[in-house]
Amino acid sequence: MSPDTFSPSPLAAVTTAFGVDIGGSGIKGAPVDLATGQFAAERVRIPTPQPATPAAVAQTVKELLETFEVPETMPVGVTFPAVVHHGVARSAANVDDTWIGTNIEDVLGQSLGRGIHAVNDADAAGYAEVRYGAAAGTRGVVLVVTLGTGIGTTLIADGRLVPNFELGHLEIDGVDAETRAAESAREREDLSWEEWALRLQRYFGVLEDLLWPDLIVVGGGVSKHADKFLPLLHLRAPIVPARLLNAAGIVGAAALAARAAQKAWTA
């Protein structure tokens, strides 16, 4: 991101940023109050175009921002369901494969006529939990794990995000961890909470031995039922449910975009 991506406004004036969460079924966005992590206006959702090619997604994101009349000086962050390496998609989950090798920031930026900051969707959600949610105020290493169709993982050390931390695919006992421990595995195999907790204990135990986190946050839709399985786990680190739920991606994208803009202004 170049220093002139955003207008060189005083840093103190940056109180709001815009977050966009690109998913396989919907593209959602809202302005975010950076002091509180709350939406500054009601969220808008537009169905993800099919096929979700770069051109089609870029047009939908443009339509979304036009709905809000986002000022040119406001930082804009976008989550993307892929490994995002310096703005480039290195994988593609629930979007068209033509995204692989595509610079997300360039494609969306050209469509919008402005700079944007792209980030992996799990990273955005995890960062939001550390900045505003269940891990706010926690020092040290925080591990955020999203249990859903797969397993998404985010690592934040003393407030610094380690990008693309793909430990859902860690091989444990000879298999890809998410094939046994994701929430989809619980549903597919009709596991009881107790049976699933045994698998989670094994998974989180390995992560804990590798990373020694100070706190583990569990997200995903199943986190609404955290009382049914988290008390069954016995780990060294505290393990708690996420708080921001479906807002996390938008909030995290906005916060990370603001942080990137501030770094550019002070470079």
Contacts of 160 (CB under 8 A, 6+ apart): none
Same domain, residue pair 102 and 156? no
Q: State how far the Cα of 174 lies from the Cα of 136, in Å rounded to an integer.
A: 35
Same domain, residue pair 148 and 70? no
State pLDDT tens for residues 29-82.
999 999 999 999 999 999 999 999 999 999 999 999 999 989 999 999 999 999
Domain assignment of residue 130, yes or no: no
Same domain, residue pair 219 and 153? yes
Domain assignment of residue 80, yes or no: yes
Same domain, residue pair 174 and 232? yes
Same domain, residue pair 141 and 239? yes
Domain assignment of residue 2, yes or no: no
Same domain, residue pair 71 and 104? yes
Any idea what DSSP says for residue 236? S
Taking CA atoms, 216 is separated from 66, 235, 261, in Å, by 38, 10, 29
Domain assignment of residue 174, yes or no: yes
Residue 55 sits in which domain range?
11-124+247-266
Q: What is the CATH number of the domain that holds 53?
A: 3.30.420.40
Contacts of 144 (CB under 8 A, 6+ apart): 122, 125, 126, 129, 130, 135, 153, 154, 155, 156, 216, 217, 218, 219, 242
Same domain, residue pair 145 and 211? yes
State pLDDT tens for residues 97-153.
999 999 999 999 999 999 999 999 999 999 999 999 999 999 999 999 999 988 999
Q: How many domains in the chain?
A: 2
